[in-house]
Amino acid sequence: MTDTALPPVPDIIRSAYATLVVTDLAEARRFWVDLLGFVVTFEDSSAIYLRGYDELAHHNLILRAGREAAAGPLGFRVRSAADLGRAQAYFGALGCRYERLPAGAVRGLGEVIRVEDPLGFLIDFFDRSDHPERLQQRYDLRRGAEIARFDHFNICVPDVPRAYDYYSGLGFGLSETIEDGQTLYAAWMYRKQTVHDMAFTGGAGPRLHHLGFFAHEAHAVLRICDIIGSLHIEEHIERGPGRHGVSNAFYVYLRDPDGHRLEIYTSDYYTGDPDHPVLRWSVQDPRRRDFWGNAVIPSWYTEASAVLSLDGKLQPVTEIEQQAESAVRVGADGYTAPAGLVE
Amino acid sequence: MTDTALPPVPDIIRSAYATLVVTDLAEARRFWVDLLGFVVTFEDSSAIYLRGYDELAHHNLILRAGREAAAGPLGFRVRSAADLGRAQAYFGALGCRYERLPAGAVRGLGEVIRVEDPLGFLIDFFDRSDHPERLQQRYDLRRGAEIARFDHFNICVPDVPRAYDYYSGLGFGLSETIEDGQTLYAAWMYRKQTVHDMAFTGGAGPRLHHLGFFAHEAHAVLRICDIIGSLHIEEHIERGPGRHGVSNAFYVYLRDPDGHRLEIYTSDYYTGDPDHPVLRWSVQDPRRRDFWGNAVIPSWYTEASAVLSLDGKLQPVTEIEQQAESAVRVGADGYTAPAGLVE
Amino acid sequence: MTDTALPPVPDIIRSAYATLVVTDLAEARRFWVDLLGFVVTFEDSSAIYLRGYDELAHHNLILRAGREAAAGPLGFRVRSAADLGRAQAYFGALGCRYERLPAGAVRGLGEVIRVEDPLGFLIDFFDRSDHPERLQQRYDLRRGAEIARFDHFNICVPDVPRAYDYYSGLGFGLSETIEDGQTLYAAWMYRKQTVHDMAFTGGAGPRLHHLGFFAHEAHAVLRICDIIGSLHIEEHIERGPGRHGVSNAFYVYLRDPDGHRLEIYTSDYYTGDPDHPVLRWSVQDPRRRDFWGNAVIPSWYTEASAVLSLDGKLQPVTEIEQQAESAVRVGADGYTAPAGLVE
Amino acid sequence: MTDTALPPVPDIIRSAYATLVVTDLAEARRFWVDLLGFVVTFEDSSAIYLRGYDELAHHNLILRAGREAAAGPLGFRVRSAADLGRAQAYFGALGCRYERLPAGAVRGLGEVIRVEDPLGFLIDFFDRSDHPERLQQRYDLRRGAEIARFDHFNICVPDVPRAYDYYSGLGFGLSETIEDGQTLYAAWMYRKQTVHDMAFTGGAGPRLHHLGFFAHEAHAVLRICDIIGSLHIEEHIERGPGRHGVSNAFYVYLRDPDGHRLEIYTSDYYTGDPDHPVLRWSVQDPRRRDFWGNAVIPSWYTEASAVLSLDGKLQPVTEIEQQAESAVRVGADGYTAPAGLVE
């Protein structure tokens, strides 16, 4: 994949949106719009286009009604129309299947190159977006988790080093890892100047582990948890809130009515310097996944969303091909529960 | 205990301080002072007197060096000297052992009536305290968890209804309970105008479950967890942070180097109206202990501090005499872990 | 007023509610309900009964439609029915006009003793209230400033020492003052265990300076300011946000559509100990009114709400009879603007 | 300046550091280190090198002892060594004086191109920096304002359109402006993906208006104000805290012992998309400088730091050559004080 004979890669600006197939659009709307407070840019009977309050592009998330829950295309914004051509040439040279969708085929966007990438994920590349109304300073409208913008994708892959190599080839920088002498268990990679646009969790794949959305302050995370408790739907909270070791972000993981996982993510740090140093976490440090040492919920390691192929079918899943992070013994049980101070 | 022939009870103002016997005073100082940021009112080679930044009495906590970790006297402030006499007469009539300590015997305080109460706990009643320097507005000194003041005791008792009756007799109001048709599993009772000065956790007792200290805002709780993670001593975080169902407070439970448990506790509500209504939680509501449905750590139900008798020995412990809250099935496993949205 | 021949005073529990006459009830509703997020307990075409999310009594505020903006009765809760009798006897002995209103005359309350007090204010004493639905943990409903409960009254009086003497006689404790060797400029007094239920601002009176409402954390104050900015009605923000020197609370002062002033007030401290020490601020300390030294807005010293007499007319106003705090030179200009670091 | 015959501009990554000449280094250290909590990378008897907790380069601020307070070189990081050459050629072609400093001449950095730019400011371009110890997750060390990193420069220039043209030529994007039909009063421009690396305030210049430092949450801003109040040095707080209309950041402006102004700045938003839309504020909108309508302190418009020339002398200052923003009538007095709701 690092073959120098490959055509040049597109200049990717950032992770921009995801598509989730949901089995009950009305129920999904109650979760994403009524509860979490996402802004609706557009909706009809088959799909809802959502964004955060700071977002100045058309959408950060497309909810599309379907028979089976799945993750559809993940969208990357590229710098210019020329980068669409570069994407087409690059993935063509890699032997990947792709489509060129005309402007408007994905609502609100210009032309899209839709690729089934070497890892098995559907990826949309686009360079132009409509600008909806600017709502950053409409505090009167803010509700729920007060989502600002899309932050990152996190995907399950059976072979983390392979995913790392592929995204390195696409020009992504590496901010943090979980590893030991033998194994790369997880990696965080970026194009925009944050910790990540894309992260890899070792596991059966291709599957979507979660979508990360940015909120400005920690109290927004506490507030959405409180709202969820008020409504007695606390089963939507899967893990957290807590502080990540990796990324230093304050987080909570939620599950939507179809089981799709999202993260509300605050804090983060600047990674824009060309020599930005990598932070490497030992897989044996119980703080890597939760800086306070709280145990990772088992489902968080094992469950994830199936993804669609270019022809709209569920991609077959390959079991993990490396040592699983959740099987590494950290303290007593492999889930970061330390032996403890008290007998 | 509700015998009308008993003498009048003392007018208790509030829970005010606790005494902890610690096996290594220097190590305890590192935890309570250097890490948590408690203010030292006085210290010598055998004991340290600590308070929060808002506290205007001499101390909220006495750490006393000893061979075996234990909880010593728990201090209640009473209204006046006459109430010391009332305490003496009342506990005498109950057949409890007690001592009358002269002013200064407990440093910083006036006379103290020290009682071994019917539940087996050592209780100090005092009416006068020295006033140390007011530090409420010394933000330049605040560190750690930015503790404001003592908030409450939580004790393990084998028979919660008996503890409830005893404290009702002492004039405590009831704010919240965990119960079902048959059983009172836990209760929160107050003298000052907050949710509680004293709470009961069903379990082997008499033991001290935890000491609750008040902080003003939730970010102080997050900050002390972050500091603990920074120092890689995350085993001191036992449970949380989270939002309580009962009390609505935002909390974290920590364990000191001897295993004594404390809670950093924010939010709370006013209970001063004479007809303040009781909030009764079903033992089957997974939100009662954590409003977000996060599981209670098993050690939180089973571990607690031994307490001292009036002659300085460890009180023998009686096993729980009622249905244990931790044995009630809530969802799948009795620890509030709901069946969950996702298979 | 300290005449020992007076009958015993009623046992006042706390400041509980205020009545505001507003000239446009629909507009007032937009401000207090739609914008600030107060909870409506009851409303009809002539009045709206509002409370905070933590409040367990019927109301904290009555908005009543009228031709002229004014402050109507200020409500104190007393301990028991016997205290209503004590109020009647006490104010009768003082020669004050009063009425005894039957249960329900003030909606949601039991009997009310309505007094025109020696300072010229209408005061309601009540001992019983309906309990509306408990909304403390309905985070899904919280909006605006997320008001928890009523906190305090602040009144303009021409003679602060006289007001202090009168409220001392009623059994109020003193928490803080602004003074110099000659003059008591302002005082904060309490019955519940907070900094105040009642405070005095020297100025033409009787007038209502402001109503204080409690919110749990500082970010709620920032949020309501942000919402107000979003709606481009920033003229409703009169002063702050800031940190008070007196009380240590984080605050903002708003003006409603009729010019009635309210304070959103967070933090505060416990004052329940019988020997709670008084904090005395020098009138020359620029931090007393704003701990960060920001200047007080002139209107904050001069403007206030007229108050009603027992027969529903506006009380005549007496000019200030003592040195005005705003006329004291602090630094250069009398409004806390320090000489400054920079020439 | 937009002459196409000019050589290509250097690829600027971000604003990275500033140099302040201070008249008493020990006193400056007390302010910047002891009070604000900046991290010391290096210090000797003539200078102190400071950074925020997230910063992974050598410094964000150099304090240098000198006889007269002034702003020295402002540092921009460029992508690579080739960009140093581009800077040299570009400014040479513009007829600007410059020096090429060897690696280490500015401690911790590689080679530096130091330019006296067309606006009269000293600018350092560098491409390499030492990496000091990573302290992002050393919450145990955080103090004061918990500064994360450098955010932006704000400079006073007599001719804002000229400054805008010059920085446009250097490849800066425009995020926000204050303007009316005739006049550009102020502009915010960026290279990194935030609202700005550089902003222009119309006024006598060249002078440094302020340095902006990023903190993660609003409570860090409140805390440093509280600490300053505690120490009774509130004259260091010049303006705020408040919410900016422009940038939407929560801010406070402080003055150091020499009168140099800094801003603690939180929130901000992402500007990395190539078509990021400009937000244009009317100079008549009272919310542009403070979203809550609070008045701008007059000194904030008029005072600023003198800047050094390449030979170390104070640059002569040219009076403002355009309509002054502070002279525009907004409401009654030109400082955003609206006519007000209340007569």
The predicted pLDDT at position A339 comes to 33
SS3 helix, strand, coil % of chain D, rounded to 5? 20, 35, 50
Judged by a CB distance cut-off of 8 A, whether residue D291 touches chain A is yes
- D298 shares contact with chain C (CB less than 8 Å): no
B13 to chain C, minimum CA–CA distance in Å? 7
The string of pLDDT tens digits covering residues C92-113 is 999 999 999 999 999 999 999 9
D205 to chain C, minimum CA–CA distance in Å? 18
Mean pLDDT of D93-113: 98
CATH topology agreement for domains B8-126 and B149-333: yes
Residue B283 has pLDDT above 80, yes or no: yes
Distance from CA of A49 to the nearest CA of B (A): 24
Q: Does residue C42 sit in helix, strand or coil?
A: strand
Residues of chain A neighbouring C227 (CB-CB closer than 8 A): 139-140
Residue of D nearest to B220 (CA): D219
pLDDT at position B333? 38
Q: Please report which confidence band the pLDDT of residue C5 belongs to, taking 50, 70 and 90 as the band edges.
A: confident
pLDDT at D337 over 50: no
Query: Does residue B273 belong to the interface with chain C, where contact is any CB pair within 8 Å?
Result: yes
Mean pLDDT of C206-225: 98
Strand segments (E) across chain C: 12-22, 39-43, 47-51, 61-65, 70-78, 98-101, 112-116, 122-126, 149-157, 173-179, 184-190, 198-202, 207-214, 237-243, 250-255, 261-266, 279-282, 305-306
Q: Chains with 3 or more CB pairs closer than 8 angstroms to B?
A: A, C, D
Per-residue pLDDT for D339 more than 50? no
Question: Which residues from chain A sit within 8 angstroms of residue C230, using beta carbons?
Answer: 137-141
C148: distance to nearest CA of chain B, Å? 9
Element (H, E) at D98: strand D98-101
Given pLDDT bands bounded at 50, 70 and 90, which one contains residue B119? Answer: very high
CB contact under 8 A, C140 and A219: no
Chains contacting D (3+ CB pairs below 8 angstroms): A, B, C
Instruction: Provide, as residue numbers in chain B, all residues whose Cβ is less than 8 Å from the Cβ of C75.
Output: none
Number of H helices, E strands in chain B: 5, 18
CA distances (Å), C178 to each of A125, C186, C247, C284, C326, in order?
65, 5, 12, 9, 12
Cβ neighbours for D221, distance < 8 A, ≥ 6 positions apart: D145, D215, D240, D241, D250, D251, D252, D264, D266
CA distance D306 to D203: 12
pLDDT of C215 higher than 60: yes
Per-residue pLDDT band at B327 (split at 50, 70, 90): confident
Mean pLDDT over C150-167 rounds to: 98
Tell me which chain C residue has its CA closest to the CA of residue B216.
C267
For D:130-189, CB contacts with A below 8 A are: 131, 134, 136-137, 148-149
> Does the pLDDT value for residue B136 go beyond 90?
yes
For residue B342, what pLDDT is reported? 27
Q: CATH number of A149-333: 3.90.1150.10, 1.10.3720.10, 3.10.180.10, 1.10.287.110?
A: 3.10.180.10
Whether D207 and chain B come into contact, CB under 8 Å, resolves to no
Contact B232 A287 (CB under 8 A): yes
Token pair listed for C317: 């106003």
- φ/ψ region of B85 (left if φ > 0, alpha if ψ in -120 to 50, else beta) reads alpha
Residue of A nearest to B252 (CA): A292
Residue of A nearest to B287 (CA): A229
| Intra-chain end-to-end CA distance of chain B, in Å | 52
CA dihedral (B202, B203, B206, B210) in degrees, to 10, reads: -70
CA atoms of A48 and A32, how far apart (whole Å):
10
Measured CA to CA, the distance from residue C155 to residue C306 in angstroms comes to 10
Helix B218-230 / helix A218-230 crossing angle, nearest 10 deg: 120
Residue A4 has pLDDT above 70, yes or no: no
Q: How far is CA C160 from CA C154, C179, C205, in A?
A: 12, 11, 10
Residues in chain D within 8 Å Cβ distance of C257 = 341
What is the pLDDT at residue C340? 31
Name the residue among A218, A287, A340 with its Cβ closest to that of B229.
A287
- Count of beta carbons in the 10 Å neighbourhood of residue A342: 15
| D165: enclosing H helix or E strand | helix D160-169
pLDDT, position B96: 98
Q: Which CATH superfamily is A8-126 part of?
A: 2,3-Dihydroxybiphenyl 1,2-Dioxygenase, domain 1 (3.10.180.10)
D81 phi/psi in degrees, rounded to 5 = -55, -35
D63: tokens are: 């304090």
With pLDDT > 70 as the criterion, what percentage of chain D qualifies? 94
Whether the pLDDT of residue C140 is over 60: the answer is yes
Percentage of chain B beyond pLDDT 70 is: 94
Which residues in chain D are closer than 8 Å to B141, comparing Cβ atoms?
A: 230
pLDDT score of B330: 65
Percent of chain D at pLDDT exceeding 90: 92
Q: How confident is the model at residue A340 (pLDDT cuts 50, 70, 90)?
A: very low
State the nearest Cα–Cα gap between A219 and chain C, in angstroms.
Answer: 8
**pLDDT, tens only, C48-92:** 999 999 999 999 999 999 999 999 999 999 999 999 999 999 999
**Minimal Cα–Cα distance from A78 to chain D, Å?**
9
- Going by their DSSP bridges, the two strands C207-214 and C149-157 should be labelled as antiparallel
pLDDT given at position B340: 32
Q: How confident is the model at residue A333 (pLDDT cuts 50, 70, 90)?
A: very low
Average pLDDT, chain A: 94
User: Could you check whether the bond before residue D277 is cis, i.e. omega within 30 degrees of 0?
Assistant: no
Within 8 A of C129 by CB-CB distance, chain B residues are: 273, 275
The proportion of chain A whose per-residue pLDDT surpasses 90, expressed as a percent, equals 92
Give residue B336's pLDDT band: very low, low, confident or very high (50, 70, 90): very low
A192 CB neighbours in chain D (<8 A) are: 193, 270, 272
Say whether pLDDT at B236 is over 70.
yes
Which residues on C lie below 8 Å from B291 (Cβ)?
Answer: 137
Cα torsion angle, B315, B321, B325, B328, sign: positive
Give the three-state DSSP class for B222: helix
A243 shares contact with chain B (CB less than 8 Å) = yes
Asked if residue D2 has pLDDT above 90, the reply is no
For residue B2, is pLDDT > 60? Answer: no
Interface test with C, best of D207, D219, D222, D231 (most C CBs within 10 A): D222
Nearest to C83 by CA among C57, C110, C118: C110
Query: What integer pLDDT is reported at residue D330 of this predicted model?
Result: 65
Whether residue C217 has pLDDT greater than 80:
yes
* b/e sequence D271-306, b meaning 16+ C-beta within 10 Å: bbbeebeebebebebbbbbbbbbbbbbebbbebbbb
Taking the CA atoms of B103, B106, B110 and B111 in sequence, report the sign of the dihedral they define: negative
Tell whether A35 lies on the interface with B, counting CB pairs under 8 A. Answer: no
- CA of A290 vs chain B CAs: smallest distance (Å): 9
Q: Provide the pairing of β-strand B305-306 with D237-243.
A: unpaired
Alpha-carbon span D5 to D94, nearest angstrom: 11
Residue A341 has pLDDT above 50, yes or no: no
Residue pairs spanning A and D at CB distance below 8 A: 71
The three state secondary structure string of A27-52 is HHHHHHHHHCCCEEEEECCCEEEEEC
Query: Which of A152-156, A187-191, C338-342 shows the lowest per-residue confidence on average (mean pLDDT)?
Result: C338-342
Interface residue of C30, C219, C222, C262 to substitute, partner D, most D CBs within 10 Å: C222
Contact between A232 and B287 using a beta-carbon 8 Å cutoff: yes
Identify the closest residue of chain C to A139 by CA–CA distance: C227
Do residues A79 and A56 lie in contact, with contact meaning Cβ atoms separated by under 8 Å? no
Position D338 scores a pLDDT of: 36
Question: Taking the model in full, what pTM does it have?
Answer: 0.96
Strand order in the sheet with A12-22: A39-43, A47-51, A61-65, A12-22, A70-78, A122-126, A112-116, A98-101
pLDDT on residue B269? 98
Which of these, C152, C191, C184, C180, lies nearest to C165 by C-alpha position? C184
Among residues of chain C, what percentage have pLDDT more than 90?
92
Residue of A nearest to B260 (CA): A342
- Residues forming beta bridges with residue A276, ordered by sequence position: none
Which chain C residues are closer than 8 Å to B248 by Cβ?
136-137
Q: Where are the domains of chain B?
A: 8-126, 149-333
| Nearest-by-Cβ selection for D341 from C232, C259, C338 | C259
Q: What pLDDT, on a 0 to 100 scale, did the predictor assign at position A332?
A: 39
pLDDT tens digits, one per residue of D33-68: 999 999 999 999 999 999 999 999 999 999 999 999
Strand, helix or coil for residue D105: coil
CB atoms within 10 A of CB D105: 14
CA neighbours closer than 13 Å in the CB half-sphere of residue D336: 27
Q: Which residues of chain B does D140 touch, with a Cβ-Cβ cutoff of 8 Å?
A: 227, 230-231
Of C234, C241, C286, the CB nearest to D234: C286
The tokens describing A25, both together, are: 């659009």
Average pLDDT on D296-308 reads: 97
- pLDDT for res B343: 25
**pLDDT score recorded for residue D1:** 45
Q: Return the residue in A140, A216, A228, A232 with the most chain C beta carbons within 10 A, the one to mutate for interface testing.
A: A140
| Beta-carbon separation of B255 and A291 below 8 A | no
Instruction: Tell me the pLDDT tens digit for each residue of B168-205.
Output: 999 999 999 999 988 999 999 999 999 999 999 999 99
Mean pLDDT of C221-236: 98
pLDDT at A343 over 80: no
C255 at interface of D, judged by CB pairs closer than 8 A? yes
Mutation site for B-interface testing, chosen from C17, C139, C275 by largest number of B Cβ within 10 Å = C275
- Cβ burial of D8 (10 Å; 0-12, 13-18, 19+) is exposed
pLDDT band at C332 (very low <50, low <70, confident <90, very high): very low
pLDDT at site C333: 38
Q: What are phi and psi of D92, to 5 degrees?
A: -60, -45
Q: Tokens for B96?
A: 């409890």
- Residue type at position D246: V
pLDDT tens for each residue of D146-168: 999 999 999 999 999 999 999 99
Which of B79, B131, B148 is facing C274, going by the closest CB pair? B79
Whole-number pLDDT of residue C336: 40
Assess whether pLDDT exceeds 70 at residue A331: no
SS3 B274: coil
The answer to whether the CB of A258 falls within 8 A of the CB of A267 is: no
Q: Whole-angstrom Cα distance, residue C113 to residue C86?
A: 10
d(C-alpha A97, C-alpha A93), whole Å: 10
pLDDT above 90 (res A328): no
- A85 by Cβ neighbours in 10 Å (0-12 / 13-18 / 19+) ranks as middle
pLDDT at D333: 38
Residue B114, token pair as written in the block: 């020290």
pLDDT band for position C1 (cuts 50, 70, 90): very low
| Closest by Cα among D194, D213, D222, D178 to D328 | D178
Would you call C253 helix, strand, or coil by DSSP?
strand
Q: pLDDT by residue (tens digit) across C239-270?
A: 999 999 999 999 999 999 999 999 999 999 99
Of A2-16, A177-191, D225-239, which range is least confident?
A: A2-16
Closest residue of chain A to B248, computed from CA coordinates: A226
Rounded Cα distance, A19 and D169, in Å: 39
Verify whether the Cβ–Cβ distance B227 to D137 is below 8 Å. no
